[in-house]
Structure 1
Amino acid sequence: MSVKSDWPHHQRKRFSLGGFLWQGALIVAVLLVIGGAAWNAANGLARQGIASGFGFLNNTAGFDISQHLIDYSAVSTYGQAFLVGLLNTLVVSVIAIPLATILGFIIGIMRRSDNWLLSRVAAGYVELFRNTPLLLQLLFWYNAVLVSLPSKVSESLHIGDVVYLNRRGLSLPQPVLGTQIAAPLVALGISVVLALLLRAWAIRRHRETGRDFPAFLIGAAIVCGLPLIASLLTQQMTGVTAVSFDLPQPGRFGVTGGWQMLPEFVALLLGLIIYTAASIAEVVRSGLSAVSKGQFEASHALHLSPVLVLRLVVVPQAIRIIIPPLTNQYLNLVKNSSLAVAIGYPDLVQVFAGTVLNQTGQAVEVVLMTMGVYLTISLITSAAMNYYNEHVKLVER
């Protein structure tokens, strides 16, 4: 049965044309405002004798950066300094997001525990770290905790001869790729594809038969084992190690070799992980609480263990509720990493919006580039989480 519109055809057409004209006028007005602001800014900078444009990125920076993942020195350009700050920001975010997620899920599950002590400890953790400013927590980790570590290299806290921790930072083994790395990398790619195919087969098998298959464990064994076998075979055939490790070596004046993590980096990482995990724990707790009690009762009636109840019944339903607010926490973590400037970690804000801005005076270009970076990272993170949210949400029939 078709339903006719109450609007005559010519009136609907006129209405659509009017809406189009209004939208076009709005776009033109916005462009005029932006263009006028840019014109006024350019004229103001010209009157003050301040250069404009992005040509300054090719000028010599003239300052050093304590931590850099790419080649950099005082004779490098401002553009290279921008890349160093960007990579330092990214490495903090990439490490902190998964660790904060794991810790947050553990604390959130503990809050739902029937064990009184576990639930109270988790509640105390959430209330303490969520209700105190992140900036104060960063200062606490940097000025109160790390300063109490041993100052002498000989007194460093260490795990065997591979990990050293002292007031100067954390030293870890650093992997070094050899010339024969191609075969293990190809094996890694093949193993990832095999693990994904195995997971898809296990899901289809479970839907058809109801029988579980340890796809995660077997997939992890494939991903870890196949590249290792390829590396060993390559070393056996060529005599060259595909991957070696540069171990830290304690010396008289400090630890050399390995991956040197600055104390500022360690403090920033601890602060972001612990602070964000408290908020993620509340997100997880609310998601678990949204699952009806009937699901728990049905699971207990099937004599499932508490671990299987969480893994197979509760978490798959709660994750659909958890993902949207969890995305916000990831975005907050990325943006909160800019507080690194308070403890001297050379992130994008400290390097580019701080030192470079002070030396060049080109505030408009520097601030716009910095804002663009954070906007791009946030949009990419949001898009990835939205894609995953679409993948796990219920399909209405």
Structure 2
Amino acid sequence: MKTQVAIIGAGPAGLMLGHLLRAEGIDCLVIERQAPDYVLSRIRAGVLEQVTVGIMARLGLDARLRREGLVEAGFNLADGERLIRIDVQDLTGQTVVVYGQTEIQRDLMDAAPERGLEVVWEAADVALHDIEGDTPRVTYTKDGTNHEVSARFIVGCDGYHGPSRQAIPATVGRSFERVYPFGWLGILADVPPCHDELIYANHERGFALASMRSHTRSRYYVDVPLTEKVEDWSDARIWDELAVRLGPEAAANMTRGPSIEKSIAPLRSFVFEPMRHGSLLLCGDAAHIVPPTGAKGLNLAASDVHYAAEALVGWFKRHDADAVAGYSDKALARVWKSERFSWSLTKLMHRFPEDGPFERRMQVAELDYIATSRAAQQGIAENYVGLPV
């Protein structure tokens, strides 16, 4: 089989890119190793920057997002005693939208057949070949039969553990990584949120986050050591810990209920350079991971897709080789700024094992500065709503 662009991975990044290319008349095929139900079952964040909302609007796939998404004009930092509100709309003139990544995934999947976007599900043994030339190939096995796809470009949207990044020679690529000494224990429950905006809390017992998926579904987190096991945390224990860490105002408005999902997610900051080698481009988690503090993961993948689509359309429509050549530098410039924001907010709101009284005083001083400085709040707000693409 031949196509112009082979996309590895049918998560939001892969499907967004596929839809953008098909809208420009560019042939593409999306190859995914998991089944559709499995992909839809993955619980991820849902705070969308304008770049992500804009792509869905450009594709004409934002009807449900506009109908069901919660427009957020700000968010809050808590220090155990007070809420420091960051008025994002006042400070930047923009907002974010709370709309679960699962819902974005569903919208993209549902539209694929009618938009002519072909997706191969449950493709095993996916491998990339000849990426340094002009005729790269992807091989995979489906229902016991071997398949080969020839393309002009391959785009790896297959996550941190996928084969795309591994196809780049070790002599070419370089990784940068910071592994954090804790994970986020999350609980999803069908209860109304305790606040109408997100709360990031720094308490002497540790970090907590109060967020939501809708007016009736809430997502909460506490940080725990990596040695913790989710089965040791009953629902009651999590709710009790959240009530302490989020502070009295949030606790007074918290509705408790049975969990519908619990998990512990490790945190890391990771960047791989370059994001293009030969005829292979990387997007999303295949090239970078951010800690969930600040909700940059999906949005950073969306900005990659924006740049990748721009580059590939330039190549196929205008024969612009420079567009593809410049993809990595353009994408990485935004990646590193988003990494910086997620890293700095993680440092501000978490207690690290190696930190002592001095580091704690620095956190207190920083939060006090943010509480009283419009300039400090504006810098946070600009990064939270998403830097320009």
With the shorter chain as reference, the TM-score category is under 0.3
Higher Cα Rg, which structure: 1
TM-score by length of 2: 0.25
When you count strand as a share of all residues, which structure comes out higher? 2
TM-score by length of 1: 0.24
When you count helix as a share of all residues, which structure comes out higher? 1
